[in-house]
A = this chain, B = another copy of it.
Amino acid sequence: MSDAAETTEPDLAFDEQELLPAVAQDADTGEVLMLAYVTEEALEHTRETGLAHYYSRSRDELWKKGGSSGHTQAIEEVRVDCDGDAILYLVDQDGGACHTGYESCFYRTVDGDVVGERVFDPDEVYE
């Protein structure tokens, strides 16, 4: 029997490379941390583990955020946009999101001004 109050999982519109862009936002501060991509498998890992997973296009592999740096993203909520072709991860970011040491990958303006906060030294985190 159908249940009118039942929620339906939104359809996801993966692109021809079977990817969706995923934005990570700090659930507390609202800071937009990064944009990466997910496959269906990466999204499943995210939902099952409660830790943000992506798909690395350059390394061509499933990627657990913080796997090498320890700077994981604990998932507070996963949202989908109206067309089902973008994902929003609301996360509790451990350390910083950016491999350069900044809290957010969006630490520069388009004019080149640095507006972000550096929260770790990448030389001490990545060996």
Instruction: Determine how many copies of this chain the complex contains.
Output: 2
Question: How many residues of chain A are within 8 Å of chain B by beta carbon?
Answer: 39
Contact with B along A103-117 (1 / 0, CB 8 A): 001111111110100
Across the interface, which residues of B come within 8 angstroms of A81, CB to CB?
A: 34-35, 105-106
Report yes or no: A9 in contact with B99, Cβ–Cβ below 8 A.
Answer: no
**A87 at interface by CB-CB < 8 Å:** yes
Across the interface, which residues of B come within 8 angstroms of A78, CB to CB?
A: 109-110
**A66 at interface by CB-CB < 8 Å:** no
> A9 and B112 in contact (CB under 8 A), knowing A21-B21, A86-B35?
yes
A32: contacting residue among B25, B80, B115, CB under 8 A: B25
**Chain A contacts with B in 76-90, Cβ cutoff 8 A:** 77-83, 86-88
